[in-house]
Amino acid sequence: MAHIADCPFCDARDRVLRENEHAFVLLSNPRKVPGHALVIPKRHVEEPWQLTAEERRDIFELLDYISQKILAAKLGEGVDVRQNYRPFLQKGKLSVRHIHYHAVPRTQDDYIYQVSEKYDTELFADLDPLEAKEVGKLLK
């Protein structure tokens, strides 16, 4: 699975900001905020655990690179780095199977906070000891 014909990230080379041997970085389109970037392995990989050690090294090298560029350009005072593995979603503009990591500029109370993370702290609950034991057993 080196190249998939209908995969937008297998054919996204025209927007590349920087690349190394196994990965490249480009501006996300669509994006959440200006400077929202994606770091993508060159090989079409759909599950994070299918990445080779070399691909992981190159992906995280570019995540460090673009995060520092975002901060230096003052597009954000911080950066969220995330990878969403959601095979249950329909393939489409907002769900590309080719694995990618987001680097999203963030500031205190920014637009993302205002529209989607304002109540995030309410999602946190103290970890119940029984849950810790049972779920811990499942994940050990």
Q: Which residues bind Zn ion (CB under 5 A)?
A: 4, 7, 9-10, 44, 98
CB of 4 to Zn ion, least distance (A): 5
Residue 27's Cβ-count burial label (10 Å; 0-12, 13-18, 19+) is middle
Nearer to Zn ion, 4 or 81 (CB): 4
Nearer to Zn ion, 69 or 97 (CB): 97
CB of 100 to Zn ion, least distance (A): 9
CB of 7 to Zn ion, least distance (A): 3
SS3 string, 44-90, reads: CCCCHHHCCHHHHHHHHHHHHHHHHHHHHCCCCCEEEEECCCCCCCC
Q: Which helix (H) or strand (E) holds 135?
A: helix 129-139
Nearer to Zn ion, 43 or 69 (CB): 43
